[in-house]
Amino acid sequence: MNKEELLQEISNKISTGEISREEAVSRFGFAPAMQSEVKAENLKNSTPFSVTKMLYVLGAAIVVLGIVIFVHQIWYDIGSFGRIAVTLGLGFVITAIGSMLLKNKPEENLGTVFHFIGGMLIPGGAVVTLSELNLDSGDWTIAITFGVIFAFYLLLNYIHKNAILTFFAIANGTATVYLVLNAVVGGPFEGWFGIKDIYQYTTMAMGASYLLLAHAFRDGWNKKLIGVLYFFGITGFLGAAFSQVFDSVPWQMLYFILVIGGLSLSVYMRSRSILVMSTLFLIAHVSYITSEYFANSLGWPISLVILGFVFIGLGYVSININKKYIAN
């Protein structure tokens, strides 16, 4: 690899977000003055890029809404082939355009916008295709279809290394897990599992996997997904676990350990979303325990007073955790 190829490779990795300008400057030991210049350039460009991204997101949402309304208006007039064409077919066409834009890079985020639109259309289009071809009779058919979409986005992400493709891979992968689970528990293994419990444990596992993915994405082109994964990861994990505490003393005791673990994790991950959601679930759990065990013995007004002071204490603790360990 000659000098020009090396510089081009570094430039491509910076443009895709795989490495940042600051990381490149720090790694090659440029002078502090140059580091300040890079930071100033990033600060100068931050506002226009933010406005541009906002317009891209708004435009993409309007395009998706317009397509949905248009398809709804002509749905009964276009026949089966037409329905497949304006859903799945259009989704693949827009995705192909997004891939060409990502490859040619006329503008950094334009290809991402097209992939967002395509990603919103393809899953629904796949379901429409199954319905129009009368192939939607079994749970396994839908599960396999979403598995194929999941593999499709894994392949696209391998080629383009883009956060929106990672997002759709995770979303369709998650759908595949639940669809396969639904096919299993509703098929030959029906009656082998406690249906309620297996969905809750699966949601806890998915939440934990989101948190692990977010931790793995700290460096690289998927950094934009960290906040989303933290939020849905901790919400899924603690939410599913909270559904187990009702009428279960072991879970009621274990849940205190889980939410305290969530608070500790927020410090380690430096995540406000994990801190906020852990605090909210701790408040919900304390409220349930108070109403379940102390309302009748101490009287409801006294229980409310105690609960209010507990909330104040939890608020004080969470604010201090944020100031000392996360905000800084």
Kindly calculate the radius of gyration of the chain based on its CA atoms and give it in whole angstroms: 24
What was the pLDDT predicted at 4?
A: 67
- Do 122 and 142 form a contact (C-beta atoms < 8 A)? no
Mean pLDDT taken over the chain = 81
Measured torsion, CA atoms of residues 25, 27, 31, 34, in degrees rounded to the nearest 10: 0
What was the pLDDT predicted at 68?
A: 85
What was the pLDDT predicted at 34?
A: 46
- Do 38 and 22 form a contact (C-beta atoms < 8 A)? yes
- 183-207 residue pLDDT tens: 888 755 555 555 668 889 999 999 9
- 28-54 residue pLDDT tens: 655 454 445 444 444 444 444 566 767
Half-sphere exposure of 79 (CA within 13 A, CB side): 2
- Do 167 and 225 form a contact (C-beta atoms < 8 A)? yes
* pLDDT over 90 (residue 139): no
Neighbours of 207 (CB within 10 A): 21
Q: What is the pTM of this model?
A: 0.76
